[in-house]
């Protein structure tokens, strides 16, 4: 077990209250200027840390973990997704990995619903028009968008966030459909009035709006491939608040440019922070800087989960949010 006051290295700036609490409990190295760590800085961190607190922008791959010092026994990730961490290597090196599940559900679902509204109703286009000074007043055919009431919403990934999106969407009169690795229990389907599709291809070909809410794993990489994007109706809208890698971004961009898909709302990108330059030129896309979970409340809740995971581990108990458990 690590020493009484373990060295905790935090790779990005966290809310002030969380950093203050970390300093009270542990020996801490903070990222005062909030710069993204380079690969060399991550290597240096794992060489020194007893506990590493990375975020989704830090690639903790096998090359980084190869330099981990023997006292590094916990990676307490600040975030829900763990696709940025080489879990197999962490397990081999007996490093426990935790995350912060649950606390971002409602925030991400809010942002998903905002994009479901914004894209068909052309809200970003309208806002840009107002700021350009070119608006000449109301007209009966001006800025026409599409009604979402009565449309079919297909949710890919019906976990916590997908279900929260379904609850919101029902209030806007959308018919809920979903594809999931496993079918939900009947009571949850009844609560969300959701129709299950075993075949993702069949669901995609029948929906008016697609919402991507599944995690990024090797199995979901380019789940929305060029072939599957071809199944969408020309009037379909795609919303992604999950991970950019789930969608073939180049194929999506081509179809949007050709107006073979009506529009998209994207909060995540395949090669963040880089964004396909062709996407930036399209007026039928709403682009956001990965801010789906960006609320003060959510970030504090995440930080509190990180602290609980570290404190529990240091005290010799199993952390509550284990992704990899190496403790006996």
Which of 120, 98, 118, 100 has the alpha carbon at shortest distance from 110?
A: 118
pLDDT digits (tens, 9 = 90+) for 192-238: 999 999 999 999 999 999 999 999 999 999 999 999 999 999 999 99
**Same domain assignment for residues 131 and 261:** yes
Please check whether residues 201 and 171 belong to one and the same domain.
Answer: yes
Same domain, 140 and 263: yes
Catalytic-residue membership of 177: no
User: Is position 1 within any domain?
Assistant: no
Per-residue confidence (pLDDT) for residue 325, from 0 to 100? 63
Report pLDDT digits (tens) over 121-171: 999 999 999 999 999 999 999 999 999 999 999 999 999 999 999 999 999
Are residues 167 and 263 both part of a single domain?
yes
Name the region of 257 (left: φ>0; alpha: ψ -120 to 50; beta: rest). alpha
Predicted confidence band of residue 119 (pLDDT cuts 50, 70, 90): very high
The residues, ordered by sequence, that sit 6+ positions from 204 with a Cβ below 8 Å of its Cβ are 154, 210, 228, 231, 232
Which listed residue (177, 228, 243, 299) is catalytic? 243
Q: How far apart are CA 124 and CA 17, in angstroms?
A: 34
Which of helix, strand or coil describes residue 210?
strand
Please confirm, yes or no, whether 19 is among the known catalytic residues. no
Identify the pLDDT of residue 2. 43
Q: Within this chain, do residues 281 and 307 fall inside the same structural domain, yes or no?
A: no
pLDDT tens string 180-197? 999 999 999 999 999 999
Q: In this structure, are 119 and 171 located in the same domain?
A: yes
C-alpha 312/C-alpha 136 separation (Å) is: 61
Asked whether residue 129 falls in the same domain as residue 112, the answer is: yes
Looking at the structure, do residues 131 and 89 belong to the same domain, yes or no?
A: no
Q: Is 290 a catalytic residue?
A: yes
Write down the catalytic residue from 146, 254, 290, 322.
290
Percent of the chain beyond pLDDT 90? 96
Task: Give the residue numbers spanning the domain of 88.
Answer: 7-103+295-324
- Tell me if 107 sits within 8 A of 87, measured CB to CB: no
**Number of domains making up the chain:** 2
Whether 22 is in a domain gets the answer yes
Tell me, yes or no, whether 91 and 212 share the same domain.
no
CATH of the domain at 190: 3.40.50.720
Phi, psi dihedrals of residue 74, rounded to the nearest 5°: -145, 130
Do 113 and 170 reside in the same domain of the chain? yes
The per-residue pLDDT for range 64-75, each reduced to its tens digit, is 999 999 999 999
Copy the structure tokens of residue 252.
Answer: 């999506």
Same domain? For 161 and 271 the reply is yes
């Amino acid at each position: 077990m690590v020493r009484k006051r373990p060295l905790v290295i935090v790779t990005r700036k966290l809310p002030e209250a969380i950093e203050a609490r970390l300093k009270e409990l542990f020996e801490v190295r903070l990222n005062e200027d909030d710069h993204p760590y380079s690969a060399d800085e991550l290597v240096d961190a794992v060489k020194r840390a007893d506990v590493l607190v990375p975020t989704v922008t830090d690639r903790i791959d096998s090359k980084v973990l190869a330099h981990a010092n023997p006292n590094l026994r916990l990676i307490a990730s600040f975030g829900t997704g763990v696709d940025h961490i080489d879990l197999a290597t962490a397990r081999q090196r007996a490093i426990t990995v935790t995350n912060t599940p649950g606390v971002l559900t409602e925030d991400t679902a809010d942002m998903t619903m905002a994009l479901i509204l914004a894209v068909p109703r052309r809200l970003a286009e309208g806002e840009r028009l107002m700021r350009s000074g070119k608006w000449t007043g109301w007209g009966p055919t001006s800025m026409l968008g599409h009604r979402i009431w009565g449309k079919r919403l297909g949710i890919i990934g019906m976990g916590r966030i997908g279900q929260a999106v379904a609850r919101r969407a029902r209030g806007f009169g959308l018919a809920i459909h979903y594809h999931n690795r496993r079918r939900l229990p009947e009571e949850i389907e009844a609560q969300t009035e959701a129709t299950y599709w075993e075949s993702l291809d069949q669901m995609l070909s029948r929906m008016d709006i697609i919402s991507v809410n599944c995690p990024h794993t090797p199995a979901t990489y380019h789940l929305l491939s060029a072939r599957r994007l071809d199944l969408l109706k020309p009037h379909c809208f795609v919303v992604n608040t999950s991970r950019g890698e789930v969608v073939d971004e180049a194929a999506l961009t081509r179809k949007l440019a050709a107006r073979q898909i009506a529009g998209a709302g994207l909060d995540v990108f395949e090669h963040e922070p880089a964004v396909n330059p062709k996407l930036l030129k399209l007026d039928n896309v709403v682009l956001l800087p990965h801010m789906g979970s960006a609320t003060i409340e959510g970030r504090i809740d995440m930080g509190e989960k990180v602290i609980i995971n570290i404190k529990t581990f240091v005290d010799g108990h199993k952390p509550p949010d284990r992704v990899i458990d190496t403790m006996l």
